[in-house]
Amino acid sequence: MSIQIPARVASFVRVEITNAGHPEFDRSIVLPQTAPMEWIVDAYLLSIGREPLEKPEYYDDSDDYERPRPDAESIDRWRMAMPALDHRSDIIVRPVDAPPLGASLVSACSSTSSPAVQGDWLTQPAPFREDDVNRELMRRHGVVRPYFEERDMRDVDPRIRRSSRIATLLSALTPARRLALLSHIDAIGLLRQSVPDRATVETAVAPLAGLLRHLGGTGVVQDPVTGWIPESDVERLTRSLGWGGGPGPREPSSTVIAFARRAKLIRRLKGRVVATAYAKSLVQPTRGTLAALAGKIGASTRDRYGMPLPRRDAEGAIALLAIADGAAQHLDELASHVAAGAVLLDQTDSIFGSDQFDRILSSRISDDVGDKSEEIARLAEGFASLSGPKQFGVITPAMREVARCALV
C-alpha cells in the first residue's frame, strides 16, 4: 500500500498598492496570509528600488496567530514605518490561490515597466525588473512548501472510524504496539462486514426477551422499598433464565434488571414496572440488533459523563477486545486483561498514560466519578445480561460479536 497525503500549503493573499498620479509605483504583492507585516513593507521597498528595513530572518509559521494579518487597517499601521514617500498609497487586500510548490513565497509584480538605470548605479534607485526582484525575495523568504499537520495522519487505517473504541486504543499505544494491534485486528477479522446469523442474534437477546415475557403487557407491581421489581420476581426471572450462582463475585439475580434500567429498557408507570417500546423492538432479531446492543452496553460506560474519558475509554476498549478476540473465556477474567493492557498504556507519554487527564475532565462534571474499576464492572455487567442458560458470565459467540460491534 502506498500512502500519499495531498500537499497542504498556507493560504495566500494579494496586496494591491496603488498611488494616485504615480502608476510607476503601483505594485501587487502575493504572500502568505499569516506572514508578518514587515514582509509587505520590505517587498514593496525592494520593488521601488529601496533598501528593505529588516534583515531576512523570517520564517513562515502558519500557526502564529498572534501576528497581525495583512488586512487594510494593519497594513496602514505598518505603512507608517516606511520612509516618507511623496504620495499616499491606497491598499486593497484580496484572497488569491496559492502559488505552485517551489514558487517564490513572496512575489511582486507591476503593470508598468521601469527604465534601466542610466548613469550612476551606485546612488540611483534600482528599476523594477520583476524576475530580479522576485529572485531577491526568494533569497530572503524561500519558496512555497507543503507542510504536515497531525490531522493528516489521524487515521491510522482508512477502514477504522476515528470515533470508534478501537481507534481510541490504537491512539493510546506506543508505535510498536500499535503496529502489533493493527496486525491482530486483521488476523481476527475485527473489521469484517459480515452479517451475523439469526441464531446468534436470538441467543444474544434471549435474556432480555425473558425479562419482557416476565413483565408481560402490563408489567409488575413496584416493590414498596426499592421502587422497582420485587425480589421475588427477580428470583423467578433468574430461575427461568437458567442462571445459577457463578464462580465470580457477580450476582446473577439482579444483573439483567440493572442493565435494563441503565439502558432505559424498563421504566416505572403508575405504580408498575413496564417494558419500554424500544425494549420490545430491541428483542426482535434484525440485522441491526447486535449493533444496537453494543451501543447500549458501550453507552453505559463511555457516555456516563457526557464525554469519553481518555484513560477509561482506552481501558474499556481493552476489555472489549479481550471479549471480541477470544482472549477472555469468562467475564471475571476482564479485570486481569485490562490490568495487563494498562501496563502498555503507562508506557505512553500522552493523555492515555495516566488517569490524571480523566480526573481533570470529569471534575468539570462531577466531584465524585468513582473508582475507574467501576467502569469495567459496568461493562461486564452489560455483557453478563446476555449470558446463556446455565452459563452465566461465560463469554459466548454472541457476546464476542456484540463486543466487535462495540469496538468498530
Same domain, 93 and 127: yes
Is residue 46 domain-resident? yes
Are residue 175 and residue 75 in the same domain, yes or no?
no
Nearest to 188 by CA among 74, 86, 321: 321
Co-location of 163 and 136 in the same domain: no
**Residue 183 shares a structural domain with residue 276:** yes
Give the integer Cα–Cα distance in Å for 32 and 225.
70
Beta bridge partners of 29: 15, 108
Same structural domain, 186 and 54? no
**168 located within any domain:** yes
Please indicate, yes or no, whether residues 195 and 324 belong to a single structural domain of this protein. yes
Amino acid identity, position 327: A
C-alpha 319: how far from chain center = 21
Residue where one domain finishes, among candidates 113, 141, 169: 141
Sequence-distant (6+) residues with CB within 8 A of 391 are none
Residue 119 lies in a domain: yes
Q: Which three cell numbers stand for residue 137?
A: 525575495
Give a yes or no: residue 24 inside a domain. yes
* pLDDT at residue 212, as a whole number: 92
In terms of domains, do 110 and 200 share one?
no
Confirm whether 175 is domain-assigned.
yes
Cell of 396: 459466548
pTM over 0.85: no
Same-domain status, 259 and 355: yes
The Cα–Cα gap between 199 and 181 comes to 30
Q: Based on the structure, what is the number of domains in the chain?
A: 2
Please report whether residue 333 resides in a domain.
yes
Single residue among 98, 115, 141 that ends a domain in this structure: 141
At 141-193, the pLDDT tens digits run 999 998 876 665 556 677 888 889 999 999 889 989 999 999 999 999 999 88
| Per-position pLDDT tens, the chain of length 408 | 566 666 788 899 999 988 888 888 889 999 998 888 888 888 988 998 888 876 655 444 444 434 445 555 555 555 554 555 666 778 888 999 999 999 999 999 988 777 666 667 888 878 888 999 999 999 999 999 988 766 655 566 778 888 899 999 998 899 899 999 999 999 999 998 878 888 889 999 999 999 999 999 899 999 888 889 998 888 888 888 888 654 444 568 788 888 999 889 999 999 999 999 999 998 888 888 999 999 988 775 666 666 667 888 899 999 999 999 999 999 999 999 999 999 998 888 777 876 665 665 666 555 555 566 788 888 999 999 999 988 899 999 999 999 999 999
Residues 346, 264, single domain; the answer is yes
* Structure confidence by residue, pLDDT tens digits, 315-353: 999 999 999 999 999 999 999 999 999 999 888 877 787
- In a domain? residue 5: no
In three-state secondary structure terms, 263 is coil
Please say which residue of 141, 168, 193 terminates a domain.
141
Residue spans of alpha helices (H) in 269-355: 277-282, 289-302, 310-324, 334-345
β-pairing verdict for 220-221 and 272-275? antiparallel
The verdict on 211 and 321 lying in the same domain is yes
Q: How many CA atoms lie within 13 A of 153 on its CB side?
A: 8
* Residues spanned by the domain of 17: 12-141
Query: Is 193 in the same domain as 52?
Result: no
User: Is 2 inside a domain boundary?
Assistant: no
Q: Which residues pair with 273 in a beta bridge?
A: 220, 268
Whether residue 192 is found in the same domain as residue 130: no
Q: What are the CA-CA distances from residue 154 to residues 107, 149, 167, 264, 345 (Å)?
A: 34, 9, 10, 34, 19
